Chain A
Amino acid sequence: MKALCWQGKEDVRVETVDDPRILNPHDAIIKVTHTAICGSDLHLYDGYMPTMEPGDILGHEFMGEVVELGKAVDNLKVGDRVVVPFTIACGNCNFCKQELWSLCDNTNPNAWLAEKFFGYTPSGLYGYTHMMGGYAGGQAQYVRVPFANVGPLKIESDLNDEQVLFLSDIFPTGYMGAENCDIKPGDVIAIWGCGPVGQFAIRSAFMLGAAKVIAIDRFPERLNLARDANAEILNYDEVDYLVEELKWMTGGRGPDACIDAVGMEAHGHTLPAFYDRAKQSMRLSLDRPTVLREAIQACRKGGTVSIPGVYGGFIDKIPFGAFVNKALTFRTGQTHMMRYMKPLLTRIQNGEIDPSFLITHRLSLDEAPEAYKIFRDKQEQCIKVVMDPWAESKAA
């Protein structure tokens, strides 16, 4: 089959590889009908995440059709249409039972490696680093799905793929980012990053009762999409002091909660931002926490900083005194997918939201290497790339 393989920094290639097969009783094999590129894939593309191996198959946002089942999977049949969550959970450990699905104890085959970095291991992920399990991902024609009795969501309505694909990662991620803000009536939420997760966070914040959402970015197409959702937009390239601007926009109080939907590759003009870039280029530091610093400074006293953005390692120069003395709360984590997929599918079926608004590029898997570049550099007003692994390349 064809699959997109990581071969190094800024080097992803479509290669012909073996088809996946059932390895464990709870496995299923899915024929992938559509798959997307995630912002966190770009951290792999830019070579920032440790424990990658040349030859790894990428991709953790995918959906498709069940073609084979392991002996112990009894809730799915061959031919079922499913959306697969990007985290893998066993369903039976203490964390799964508490619905903390992304903290499952039992799905990381390289648990010892994650424990070296983190102390304890989170759940395994598709198409990511070997610290997170090294599972082959779904930017391919077929994919092996472990614990298929726990993860995959069956789609029985006639919604098309583009409408439900984002239940695999970004819609629940944006929603959990907003839910973690504990939104009360009258709350003002500030969201850094109007990429796909940010866009869903904006819409989710309104769903959860926010009175006002301030969306922060610098790319016009992303700000326009945010404005379409009734957010007040803030282009940080046009503003001298972001924190002061937010104070002005919130009656001098500051936003009640701040969402960091940007993560470790934040872009900034300030002196600390240059310092981050310098340290990162010398491999002295992994992450650039520009947004995290701003969110802590900007947040109102007693507020919440919700962090769906992905970070990998250690960060520098965080205003922790501000964090402590303003009594802030951090809420974060990889998305607890299985908690949100069914309720959000219901919202899509009710017509509350059509996630396909996000898609700007529809390509074949063969065009994936260019697609990564376009997505990362935000060329062609790219916001979200969806790929069909079975389509022939238009260039061919």
Chain B
Amino acid sequence: MTITTGMAENRREQSRLRSIPISSNVETLSCIAGGGALIALGLARRSWIGWVLAATGGGLVLNALINERRPYQGTVRVGVTIRRSPDDIYEFIRDPENQVKFLEGLELRANADQSMTLAFGRPAGFTLQSDAQITDERPGEYIAWSATPESVQEHSLDHRGVIHFRRAPGDRGTEVAVALDLKAPVGPIGRALASFVGWGPEQMVRESLRRLKQLMEAGEIPTTAGQPSGARGLKGSALRVLYRERNFEQPGESRLAGD
């Protein structure tokens, strides 16, 4: 299935997001600091190990100056098939009460002037924010959005995308396809860490679509958060983080009869 988003002609326009200033980027600063420390350490040793350390440090500083200043730019394409009609899914998505239930890691707020504000990362302590507007929309067919120019200047986050609804072959329901173009002030190290905890853009879109499918087909999102378990120990707790199983334990007495 091909998705046309109108993004192709935009690629030729000047990048609206220029390189990231050094001083505001944690990754760049830590690379420079770490690299500098390694250089100093290496030169102080006066042995061949020292040269290796210094070279590594030099590499880190170069990385900071070159790679880390290029913002992340990527395209995300994720599709899912949901056993409901395109109109049903469109209506479900446009309702803010539902958006809260299926959007993974993303907060969405509709503003009075027809724009939306997206916020991401609040639970982790940092927030990436952006204002966007719906640029084109046909109910039951597609919704296209784009970050406002003011928001791009202010928050250094540029994104535009489209979500398509198309009848799936046979009686399989609807093919829901999301295509997203993204520029964010995150360097390679930050991207790797984000992917590791499941916060890469493709992962978030995929999980959001998965939750949407679960809500619309099964009526609930499957979970094991809050189920009983034996002693987890250090290894078990580490694995819970690795397998991205967020843990909430609610205090309360057993509600079982017939004990």
Contact = CB atoms under 8 A, between A and B. Distances in A.
Interface of A: 1, 3, 5-7, 13, 15, 17-26, 29, 31, 51, 53-57, 65, 67-68, 72, 78, 88, 90-94, 97, 105-113, 124, 130, 133-136, 140, 142, 144, 146-147
Contacts of B221: 24, 109
A5 B228 CA distance: 10
**Interface residues of B, dominant DSSP:** loop
B243 A130 contact: yes
B112 interface: no
Interface stretch (B23-31, B149-157, B180-188, B232-240): B232-240
Given A93-B217, A106-B213, A107-B222, 6 more contacts: A24-B220, A25-B220, A68-B255, A93-B218, A105-B213, A112-B203
B59 interface: no
A19 B227 CA distance: 8
Contacts of B254: 18-19, 21
Contacts of A94: 81, 83, 172-173
Contact of B223 (A3, A24, A97): A24
Interface in B134-193: 172-173
A40 to B, nearest CB: 19
Contacts of A72: 219-220
B230 A68 contact: no
A22 B83 CA distance: 27
**Interface residues of A, dominant DSSP:** loop
A15 to B, nearest CB: 4
Contacts of B210: 111
B255 A18 contact: no
Given A133-B222, A135-B224, A57 B229 contact: yes
A110 B226 contact: no
A56 B224 contact: no
B199 to A, nearest CB: 12
Contacts of B213: 93, 105-106
Interface of B: 81, 83, 172-173, 198, 203, 206-207, 210, 213-214, 217-233, 235-236, 239-240, 243-245, 252, 254-258
9 contacts: A19-B228, A20-B227, A21-B252, A22-B255, A24-B222, A54-B235, A65-B258, A68-B255, A72-B219
Contacts of B228: 1, 3, 17-20, 57, 136, 140
A56 B229 contact: yes
Given A57-B228, A112-B207, A106 B172 contact: no
Nearest to A121: B210
Contacts of B227: 20, 23, 135-136, 144
Contacts of A51: 243
Contacts of B222: 24, 88, 106-109, 124, 133, 146
A19 B256 contact: yes
Chain A CB within 10 Å — which of B213, B221, B256 has the most?
B256
A55 B231 contact: yes
A140 to B, nearest CB: 8
Contacts of B219: 25-26, 72, 92
A57 B230 contact: yes
Contacts of B220: 24-26, 72
A140 B227 CA distance: 13
Nearest to A130: B243
A54 B233 CA distance: 7
Given A67-B256, A67-B258, A112-B203, A17 B229 contact: yes
B245 A54 contact: no
Nearest to B207: A112
Q: Which 7 A-B pairs have the closest CB atoms?
A: A5-B230, A90-B218, A54-B236, A55-B230, A55-B232, A15-B230, A106-B218
Given A18-B228, A72-B219, A113-B243, A97 B83 contact: yes
Nearest to A24: B220
Chain A CB within 10 Å — which of B81, B173, B245 has the most?
B245
A105 B235 CA distance: 29
A134 to B, nearest CB: 5
A53 B236 contact: yes
Contacts of A19: 228, 254, 256
A3 B243 contact: no
A23 B225 contact: yes
Contacts of A15: 230-231
Contacts of A53: 229, 232, 235-236, 239-240, 243
Nearest to B227: A136
A124 B221 CA distance: 13
B180 to A, nearest CB: 18
Contacts of B207: 112
A124 B218 CA distance: 14
B83 A54 contact: no
Contacts of A26: 218-220
A110 B242 CA distance: 11
Contacts of B214: 90, 105-106
A237 to B, nearest CB: 39
Chain B CB within 10 Å — which of A51, A88, A105, A144 has the most?
A105
A292 B203 CA distance: 37
Given A7-B230, A53-B240, A134-B224, A106 B217 contact: yes
B10 to A, nearest CB: 31
A23 B213 CA distance: 19
